[in-house]
């Protein structure tokens, strides 16, 4: 992403929009997405498969820093 976003906080730039919709992810721990400086992020209708390929790394499913709007729904975890 380029740093050409709106300025909402003095000295901080925001990307406009990020959408993760209708994808399949294979994760070896609970972490799914980490996002910084985005105006809006949509994470919807995804399938998250549990993988045991690697040892899990501790962390939260999502970590958002200076993300203004989040829409996260209808995601399904498969073991």
Tell me the whole-structure pTM to 2 decimals: 0.77
Q: How confident is the model at residue 49 (pLDDT cuts 50, 70, 90)?
A: very high
Residues with Cβ within 8 Å of 10's Cβ and at least 6 positions away in sequence, in order, are none
Q: What is the reported pLDDT for 1?
A: 43
Distance from C-alpha of 32 to C-alpha of 41, rounded to nearest angstrom: 13
- Give the tens place of pLDDT for each residue, 6-31: 556 666 777 889 999 999 999 989 88
Domain ranges across the chain? 15-78
Q: How many CA atoms lie within 13 A of 18 on its CB side?
A: 20
Q: What is the DSSP letter of 55?
A: -
> In the structure encoding, which two tokens stand for residue 39, read together?
């105006």
* Cβ atoms of residues 44 and 74 within 8 Å: yes
Q: What is the reported pLDDT for 66?
A: 87
């Amino acid at each position: 992403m380029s740093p050409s976003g709106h300025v909402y906080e003095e000295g901080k730039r925001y990307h406009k929009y990020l959408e993760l919709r209708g994808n399949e992810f294979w994760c070896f721990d609970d972490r799914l997405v980490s996002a910084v400086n985005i105006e809006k992020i949509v994470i919807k209708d995804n399938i998250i498969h549990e993988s045991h390929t690697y040892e899990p790394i501790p962390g939260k499913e999502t970590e958002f820093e200076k993300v203004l709007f989040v829409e996260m729904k209808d995601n399904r975890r498969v073991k």
